[in-house]
Structure 1
Amino acid sequence: MTDGSRDRARSFSSAAGRYGDHRPSYPAALLDAVEELAGFALAGARVADVGAGTGIATALLHARGARVVAVEPGEGMAAEFRRRNPRVPLVRGDGDRLPFASGSLDLLTYAQSWHWTDPARSVPEALRVLRPGGALAVWSNDPDVGVGWIADQQARIEKGFGPGWYINERPRSQDGVEFTTRLLRWSRRITVDAHLAKLSTHSLFLIGAPGTDDFLAAERDRLHVLFPDGRLTEHYVVELSLARAPWPKRHCTEHV
């Protein structure tokens, strides 16, 4: 991780409450897809949600009946998680050094957090802690740029701050780990101010990059012209990538 990436990763702790208030959740169909691709039910499954943040995804897994443990490296995020999810266990750690015994988990999840790991370390760590046949699931909420006003906003941000502002790397198949991908579209109706508050929780804005405050102010004026009643519909594409941990190879002995 570069120094710039570390600064961005650390920036979330300073705005944990705002993150929890304004970041979107995920559609129910997402966990249905996880169960389908993993080949087992979440109810009763041993799950670790890595980079849990304030617990947006962890809470959904818990409500589904999973025996979920949250893993979060940031102090501020961990404190906010405990405030919002007092009944869910949390440990401090990250995806490159998982604090779990080998073969102890059915499912390992990364919700909007895979890009903060080093895949050369996090993939072998996932294989270590998952039981044979267990699953690694990585997903994210991405703005649906097939919607005109969202595409225009993304273009303005990239023009002002560069194409790398939205950090969200997908997992790649490696070391015999093959990912299957599923896309799910959904939307939510919120106020213009809530949308801008959500936008301000992205790391580009949290680190206070030059021009971000002016950008948000100009964006507020622009969106109130587009949506004079002060409400808009955010459209998202959830990209789910899931891989199964391999079963041990069976050795057969021929008897002649």
Structure 2
Amino acid sequence: MTASSRAHSFNEAADQYAASRPSYPPALFDFIEQFTSRPLAGARVADVGAGTGIATALLRERGADVIGVEPGGAMAAKFRTVLPDVPIVRGDGNALPLADASHDLITYAQSWQWTDTTRSVPEALRVLVSGGALAIWWNTTAFDVPWIRGQHQRIAHHCGVRPTSRTRPDDSDAIRLAGLSGLRVARRQVRWSRTVSFGTHLANISSRSAFPVLAEDDKRAFLREERRRLREIFPDEAVEETYVVDLLVATRP
């Protein structure tokens, strides 16, 4: 499956994505403010690949003047339901539908990998004001937690993708792969967790990009077996999910 088709597969699970996907810890936004030396309150922010608005809502809570940018129709429709007073436009990071030098901060939560960095980096620099910042981050897998590592490997095998053994590359590789070489860049990793029901946890893992294209019978069988495994670890049916947020922040000249 191509990256483009996997990205758009999220449209098929917009409601599920909004209800089950994890949020992000306050420390993430604290570091963005620290690195950029300005508060999010009052900042003009574009949240690109906004999806159903998980990160957008947090940016707004910090007082940002935020707009969502989202390529998917179903995701954009759900965004409008969840955040009816926040503007959203259709588009993606390779060709931002935003004016030159119009924003203080551009954010990508879980969505930078869907861009072509030879296009998305120049686009971000075009839209940012002088001294503005680009922040990209992911909730990554806490591989040091045995049950999470085992589940990650089973999901990868079931969906026909290669499992990874670490969260993200080291600092220099991460910056190079993100296309941000030559800019002032900082990286932080923030560990956090949440406790959710079996239903929310299973909905979360089945909203990942490789799952929506699987046959329904295939998905149900996999999730049924995962529920059985989880009950052995969490007999009270409350799952503690642990994440490591991997954040890169870059400022333009």
Q: TM-score, normalised by structure 1?
A: 0.89
* 8 Å Cα contact 2:180/2:250 also seen in 1: no
Q: State the distance in 1 between where 2:187 and 2:93 align.
A: 21
Report deviation, 1:101: 1.3
From 146, 153, 156, the counterpart of 1:155: 153
CA–CA distance in 2 between the matches of 1:191 and 1:134? 40
Q: Does 28-37 or 169-178 show the bigger shift?
A: 169-178
Q: Pick one of 4, 10, 22 that aligns with 1:24.
A: 22
User: AA paired with 2:114?
Assistant: W
Match of 1:195 in 2: 201
Equivalent residue, structure 2, for 1:249: none
Q: In the alignment, is the contact (CA less than 8 A) between 2:106 and 2:133 conserved in 1?
A: yes
Structure 1 residue aligned with 2:230: 223
Give RMSD over aligned pairs: 2.1
Q: In 1, Cα distance between the equivalents of 2:155 and 2:15?
A: 24
Tell me how far apart the structure 2 counterparts of residues 164 and 90 of structure 1 sit (CA, whole Å).
Answer: 34
Aligned residue among 73, 76, 80 for 1:75? 73
Alignment correspondent of 1:136? 134
Secondary structure, counterpart of 1:162 in structure 2: coil
DSSP-derived class of the 2:143 partner: coil
* Alpha-carbon shift at residue 139 of structure 1 (Å): 0.7
Tell me the residue number matched to 1:240.
Answer: 247
Report the CA distance between 1:33 and its aligned residue.
Answer: 0.9
Q: Deviations over 1:121-171 (max 9, x none)?
A: 000101111111100000111121111111111122233333169998955
The aligned runs of 1:60-209 (5 Å cut-off) are 60-160=58-158, 161-163=160-162, 171-174=177-180, 176-208=182-214
Instruction: State the one-letter code of the partner of 1:238.
Output: V
2:231 maps to a residue whose letter is H
Provide the rounded CA distance (Å) in 2 between the counterparts of 1:13 and 1:189. Answer: 26
- Cα contact 2:117–2:179 (8 A) shared by 1: no
Identify unmatched segments of 5+ residues in structure 1. Answer: 247-256
For structure 2, which runs of at least 5 residues remain unmatched after alignment? none
> Aligned letter for 1:103?
A
The number of equivalent residue pairs is: 244
Preserved contact between residue 19 and residue 200 of structure 2 (Cα < 8 Å)? no
- AA at the equivalent of 1:146: D
Q: Which amino acid aligns with 2:152?
A: Q
Instruction: Give the secondary structure class of the aligned counterpart of 1:205.
Output: coil
Contact 2:152 2:163 in 1 (8 A): no
For 1:74 and 1:168, how far apart are their aligned partners in 2?
A: 26
In 2, Cα distance between equivalents of 1:204 and 1:214: 16
After superposition, the C-alpha distances for 1:28-51 in whole angstroms (9 at most, x for unaligned) are 111101111122110111110000
Alignment identity in percent? 51
Q: After TM superposition, list the pairs within 5 Å mapping 1:42-61 onto structure 2.
A: 42-61=40-59
Q: Cα gap change, 1:21/1:189 in structure 2, threshold over 3 Å: closer, same or farther? A: same
Please say which structure displays the higher CA radius of gyration: 1
Q: Which amino acid aligns with 1:206?
A: P
Contact 2:109 2:138 in 1 (8 A): yes
